[in-house]
A and B are shown apart, each in its own frame.
Chain A
Amino acid sequence: LAKTTQPISMDSYEGQEVNITCSHNNIATNDYITWYQQFPSQGPRFIIQGYKTKVTNEVASLFIPADRKSSTLSLPRVSLSDTAVYYCLVGKRPGRRALTFGSGTRLQVQP
């Protein structure tokens, strides 16, 4: 599985847009990029998954440049409830295989 690098922590304020970038220089041709969110005392929760360009759902957007060596998770207008750890994962159709979680990015949203 491709190794991922993301910031250890980020701070933001309510109402701001938050962008978390993940580097995955060794991504393979058929690897997907998946982001999970984990609140304290809960299991990780799937946020979004993509292969290239841009993917958007009701929670977030995922931007993937043409070379796919990085990806950016964008959270629009964050609220206090978005305070969590965000994990970037890269692999072949991750749902069917074991996930390798890195250290994640701890996002702290302030009022």
Chain B
Amino acid sequence: DAGVIQSPRHEVTEMGQEVTLRCKPISGHDYLFWYRQTMMRGLELLIYFNNNVPIDDSGMPEDRFSAKMPNASFSTLKIQPSEPRDSAVYFCASSPETGSQETQYFGPGTRLLVL
């Protein structure tokens, strides 16, 4: 399995622009998570889905952030409009419904820089 796939790996944009981050979870995994990591705040959960349905979006910073999961193999995290303080590494992770060790598998992350 290729693991969790994220694109793009790097994104540089200007303040006010729309940014869309993409994630392909591991096939068969029922849970998908979006995290954000910064030096100041560490690794924090933004939102997670179960069977394509958003379960907890309390970590989404504000209305500028939105996430969708139209099917089991694809999710997007959109920021519109982007601001410099959104600069961070965004990780997507997926997890199976069952398993002897219920671990989350993280993607390589998208490094976002908003100028």
Q: Which residues of A contact B (CB under 8 A)?
A: 34, 41-46, 49, 87, 93-104
Q: For A46, give its contact among B96, B103, B107 (CB under 8 Å).
A: B103
Interface residue SS majority, chain A = loop
Question: What band does the interface of chain B fall in when counting residues whose beta carbon is under 8 Å from A?
Answer: 20 to 34
Interface residues of B in 13-56 (CB under 8 A from A): 31, 33, 35, 42-45, 48, 56
A44 and B97 within 8 A (CB): no
A43 and B103 within 8 A (CB): no
Interface residues of B in 58-115 (CB under 8 A from A): 59, 91, 93, 95-97, 99, 101-109
B102 and A94 within 8 A (CB): yes
Residues in A with CB closer than 8 Å to B44 are 101
User: Interface readout for B6-17 with A: 1 if CB under 8 Å, 0 if not?
Assistant: 000000000000
Complex CA–CA separation, A34 to B31 (angstroms): 18
Residues in B with CB closer than 8 Å to A34 are 103
Complex CA–CA separation, A94 to B96 (angstroms): 11
Interchain Cβ contacts under 8 Å between A and B, 22 examples: A34-B103, A41-B108, A42-B106, A43-B93, A44-B91, A44-B104, A46-B103, A49-B101, A49-B103, A93-B102, A94-B102, A95-B99, A95-B101, A95-B103, A96-B31, A96-B95, A98-B48, A98-B59, A99-B45, A101-B42, A101-B43, A102-B42
Known contacts A101-B44, A103-B42; A95 and B102 CB within 8 A of each other: yes
B106 and A44 within 8 A (CB): yes
Residues in A with CB closer than 8 Å to B56 are 98
